[in-house]
Amino acid sequence: MPDLIVIIFLMLAAFMAGWVDAIGGGGGLIQFPALLFGLPNATPAQLLGTNKASSIFGTAGATSTYFKKMPNEVKTTIPMAIIAFIGSLAGAIFSSNLPRSSFEPIVFVVLIVVGSWILYSPNIQNEKMPTKVKSNLVMLLGGAGLGFYDGAFGPGTGAFLIALFVGALGKQYLAASAGAKVVNLATNFGAVVIFSIAGSIIWSLALLMALANFAGGIFGAKTAIGKGSSFVKVIVATVAFASALRLALQIWG
């Protein structure tokens, strides 16, 4: 268990991550680097497991809030969530075997790529409703691919899911945010199952962060429903780039 200052820092990061993730995805770009810096001696499995065990509560809080407002959007995404859960199991198994020396450079690249994508992604709204075949294919391949990615690494998964729902399935942004939460909840759960079995979760820290993440997730979902989310893009991208710079100094400095 880290000291009190580190715990407070990680709880603040967890709250902000829950808020951001519920609005537009990308909360992992805040919480995961915070764990990376706050726990310099932890293994990749411990970092990922603790991150997922805490963020799943925020995702659950956001999902429940969306369900009360948009129950149909939540229900129609369940098949994709099941596929994503299976993909997440495979991704978590993959990342459990990575040494930290190999893990950190991968995370550095992920932060740069995902941060750039979130900041510079164009308007992806697709007004055309897809055919049933296309919709099923998108849900199958998207669920499996993003499920694996979220189980293995995770940052930016929510934003990618929203882009998929909006650009490929023609959903409105708010509906896409609701669907993304359902799938993200499933991928978080899949990763938690694997890391829990492996004994890689620092539960005392994860539960404290979970309280903060849960509060942030509920607050973020209400913010998204009330105000939208365009203003969050710059915040998330800035955090990603700053984290990448800090990580680069840690690796090569």
- Average pLDDT per consecutive 10 residues, the chain (253 residues; last block may be shorter): 91 89 73 90 91 86 84 88 96 87 81 75 61 85 94 82 81 81 93 94 94 85 64 66 77 70
User: Residue 174 and residue 48: Cα distance in Å, rounded?
Assistant: 28
Both tokens assigned to 87: 């993909």
**In this predicted structure, what is the pLDDT of residue 53?**
93
Contact (Cβ atoms closer than 8 angstroms) between residue 68 and residue 123: no
What angle is formed at CA 250 by the lines to CA 40 and CA 239, rounded to 5 degrees? 90
pLDDT of residue 129: 64
User: In 35-172, where do the E strands start and end?
Assistant: none
The predicted structure's pLDDT at residue 127: 57
Identify which of 217, 201, 215, 209 has the alpha carbon closest to the alpha carbon of residue 66: 217
pLDDT at residue 50, rounded to an integer: 95
Torsion angles phi and psi, residue 101, rounded to 5:
-60, -30
Q: pTM of the full predicted structure?
A: 0.80
Element containing residue 63 per DSSP (H, E): helix 44-69
C-alpha span between 12 and 148 (Å, rounded): 28
| CA gap 147, 129 in Å, rounded | 24
Cα 28 from Cα 52, distance rounded (Å): 9
d(CA 113, CA 9): 25
From residue 243, give the alpha-carbon distance in Å to each of 110, 119, 155, 250. 11, 15, 12, 10
